[in-house]
Structure 1
């Protein structure tokens, strides 16, 4: 029995999930899971995307009701079966801080801490009381800030600490932190970890969701690993080997090597030299060859999206150079990179990649309406013909080319987003999470599309947080960590165990 298990055996768990199962249509999100955490314990929760971490968290917060099993908080079972279940969990001391901050920049720190539950007396907000309690909550985390100052003036780390301070109000017993340092630089992340240690020292249990092993080893007592909705194991962090944790996360079904034939050419179409974009990118350098599919792996918040945006001119880098066909691109912006033959699919498809109410045709042809116009007027016939070529080539399932794209499945929407750049004739494609939110069949089709485009001589940067798909589509994979590219893997010697270990191992 580990030291952590002995400590737990002597205490009533703050939170306990006993044999819980939760199904959604076509998905077993949680499979007979049993989990508990003790007072003052920092428990890391590990697992790749889709492992069941979010469902487990939602069970503890009362946002989800198990199909079978029990959820106990401080020894008593959650009994509500409706909207009151979340309030019941809150009253029993459960708090959660999600990675997307929920602060209002134009309000004061105190107002944000008490948002929605401001102290009142005869319907008048008691600002002195609120600011005094806010100052006390922040002091517990080592946050020395004026409670009447505006949130807009805070650094990212201070905003994250303020979210944790808000969770500290009302004597919580369990605080769940979902990727709290994903958007922070290393120095700022240290402040958050110090705050987590302070929280646990007060006897509050902490569930810490992260893949950053260097952080987990600093602050966590134990780590629970999930896979395919199951609790695989709980290990003592101090003695755990990173490779073993990776094996538990990925399972024995992990593919060992991709049998891809690298047909890329020697010609370099894109070169990045010492690219910097604070706080995510310090100095990134690499070259992309004609016909190559280059993968970029890294944890959430490692700077993958920022790298693509800096190359595409969506964001201006602080330092470094971008060279196209050997020539530096000065003052690169989005339009200039489009003229250089670049195309970019954003990570957030629904918010940034498509216009849901417009047709498949309008979404596909938006990069070059001139090609389907006569005397400045769009031709319905030419639009339908041009769209049909892309739809047929990429196997987009739609009855009509003018069907609103928002009615299509996620996989078919993503094919259209990629098809937009095929229609535009782009020779370099920057794809940010191109298979996120699509089913298995659509993923396989997108992989095939990408490989086909590469064989035609197009060059592709493929960013993905799903480690297991990179060996299936990439000729080469670079690992982005600590603001720089740390390791390189080449087909056929790319396997997910090594990739995952390279991503989560900090130096």
Structure 2
């Protein structure tokens, strides 16, 4: 592997290093003999598809994980703690991490959030003047000119992300790790974050930048480390790297030709989207969906895929354009009206939005149409059990009883119930947002088969996924969503993983 010092850097000691680190979980080799270095002032991009090992590598550096073998060094000194104190040891040596999910408290001020949990005190009294002065200094280092006594609730998404980075800058860090910092931001806001990253590196601080957005990476990163299946495949000079070569390194042998699907879609159009805008994520989206078609929507996290499905389903207002179902405009239709028209929607976050964990499989399955299992407004236990059993048998859901609390089922079986809810409702158009997220390989294959069977019956499916490799396995057609618009179209049997990934990560 190319060393840090060989990529546009002078020969300087590494700020952080992994030396032959391996980490195993039950049935998974998460990190395989990884050796990694990053130098002061370097911005190192970390690339790899989901499950490549990026998160495990980061957790090694932050002390949240201990390698089964190998060593972790920060500023030349090995992390030696083996318990909960290891993360504090890493922090004290100068490692900071800003995760994708922000951890700010909206009802507190900027200064209070920056020093959350460690407010400066004297005699038990918080020293607000000193705290606000230091907060202003930390924000100024990033070019963030905001009053420290302002509430976080009034900040824009970009300002919140910058505040998280400013918090990481407290205490003279040596390494700052940023996990998808621009995934939820529009292009103009992302520029502010990238400018801040450049400022951080200019102060001699090493930065690890996790992202799939090649246009951003080319702007700010000196080098990129590519991971696959828990291994570090290569580290390349960003300026001289070809995007397709990076994609090939990310996908490896998995980028083989997917099985050819038989497109059984009919000529009848069930959904038309025309010039749809949902600011700031979507500018002008137009496409149509045929009866019996599985249409994939590919795009990076934060590209607007979820906003698109929510706008179609009536759970999010759109700013411009038109949506037509069976030739009729549904511009003012809400969620209930779209359900009545035969639309169904499975949300991206299954646990938070897709299920009620303490309720049974039956109640979760039948919630879209309790009237079908009621007599004079009273639920019938026998009819509920019978209706649920039909869905359980059809979708091969593993559960001991129809009334088993859904929260006790595996992720794959929970997801089948969420899909089964709309099968039971008789939905003709199903909008599936990340329907295989967090499920095992066997469950994924079963969900693919379910979707293809639904399409064969004449139902239409929009399938959103950030796992590029699964789209050719289930979709008749794939549209690439990038920079607020649909950029490219791929049709089976010519849906190639390499080309699809390159289309998603390539910017202007």
* 1:255 shift after superposition: 2.6
Pair 244,122 (structure 1): closer, same or farther in 2 beyond 3 Å:
same
SS of residue matched to 1:275:
strand
The match for 1:287 is 288
Aligned pair 1:263/2:264, yes or no? yes
SS of residue matched to 2:253:
coil
Task: Quote the Cα distance in structure 1 between the aligned partners of 2:275 and 2:391.
Answer: 37
Task: Quote the Cα distance in structure 1 between the aligned partners of 2:312 and 2:36.
Answer: 44
SS of residue matched to 1:182:
coil
Q: Work out whether residues 114 and 135 of structure 2, in 8 Å CA contact, stay in contact via their aligned partners in 1.
A: yes
* 1:256 shift after superposition: 2.2
* 1:6 shift after superposition: 5.7
The match for 1:225 is 226
Matches within 5 A, 1:85-484: 85-484=86-485
Matches within 5 A, 1:477-492: 477-492=478-493
Pair 362,2 (structure 1): closer, same or farther in 2 beyond 3 Å:
closer
SS of residue matched to 1:36:
strand
The match for 1:18 is 19
Consecutive unaligned residues in structure 2, runs of 5 or more? none
* 1:399 shift after superposition: 1.6
* 1:406 shift after superposition: 0.9
Matches within 5 A, 1:5-84: 5=6, 10-84=11-85
SS of residue matched to 1:249:
helix
* 1:253 shift after superposition: 2.5
Q: Work out whether residues 4 and 236 of structure 1, in 8 Å CA contact, stay in contact via their aligned partners in 2.
A: no
* 1:124 shift after superposition: 1.0
The C-alpha deviation readout for 1:415-462, integer Å capped at 9, x for no partner, is 111011000000000000000111111111100000000000000000
TM-score calculated relative to the size of structure 1: 0.99
* 1:2 shift after superposition: 8.6
Pair 126,11 (structure 1): closer, same or farther in 2 beyond 3 Å:
same
Task: Quote the Cα distance in structure 1 between the aligned partners of 2:167 and 2:417.
Answer: 42
SS of residue matched to 1:141:
coil
The worse-fitting range, judged by mean Cα deviation, of 230-239 and 142-151 is 142-151
Q: Work out whether residues 227 and 250 of structure 2, in 8 Å CA contact, stay in contact via their aligned partners in 1.
A: yes
Task: Quote the Cα distance in structure 2 between the aligned partners of 1:398 and 1:362.
Answer: 14
* 1:330 shift after superposition: 3.2
Count, aligned residues: 507
The worse-fitting range, judged by mean Cα deviation, of 117-126 and 488-497 is 117-126
The C-alpha deviation readout for 1:313-362, integer Å capped at 9, x for no partner, is 11001111110011111312100100110000001111111111111111
TM-score calculated relative to the size of structure 2: 0.99
Q: Work out whether residues 4 and 221 of structure 1, in 8 Å CA contact, stay in contact via their aligned partners in 2.
A: no
* 1:153 shift after superposition: 1.1
The C-alpha deviation readout for 1:242-274, integer Å capped at 9, x for no partner, is 000000000022132440011100100000011
Root mean square deviation, CA, Å: 1.1
Q: Work out whether residues 4 and 39 of structure 2, in 8 Å CA contact, stay in contact via their aligned partners in 1.
A: no
* 1:400 shift after superposition: 1.1
The worse-fitting range, judged by mean Cα deviation, of 251-260 and 77-86 is 251-260
The C-alpha deviation readout for 1:341-396, integer Å capped at 9, x for no partner, is 00000011111111111111111111111111111111111111111111001111
Consecutive unaligned residues in structure 1, runs of 5 or more? none
* 1:4 shift after superposition: 5.1
Task: Quote the Cα distance in structure 2 between the aligned partners of 1:457 and 1:22.
Answer: 46
Q: Work out whether residues 7 and 236 of structure 2, in 8 Å CA contact, stay in contact via their aligned partners in 1.
A: no
Task: Quote the Cα distance in structure 1 between the aligned partners of 2:254 and 2:484.
Answer: 31
Q: Work out whether residues 7 and 222 of structure 2, in 8 Å CA contact, stay in contact via their aligned partners in 1.
A: no
Task: Quote the Cα distance in structure 1 between the aligned partners of 2:468 and 2:254.
Answer: 13
Q: Work out whether residues 275 and 319 of structure 1, in 8 Å CA contact, stay in contact via their aligned partners in 2.
A: yes
* 1:39 shift after superposition: 0.3
Q: Work out whether residues 20 and 34 of structure 1, in 8 Å CA contact, stay in contact via their aligned partners in 2.
A: yes
Task: Quote the Cα distance in structure 2 between the aligned partners of 1:274 and 1:156.
Answer: 25
SS of residue matched to 2:254:
coil
Task: Quote the Cα distance in structure 2 between the aligned partners of 1:358 and 1:6.
Answer: 55
* 1:8 shift after superposition: 5.1
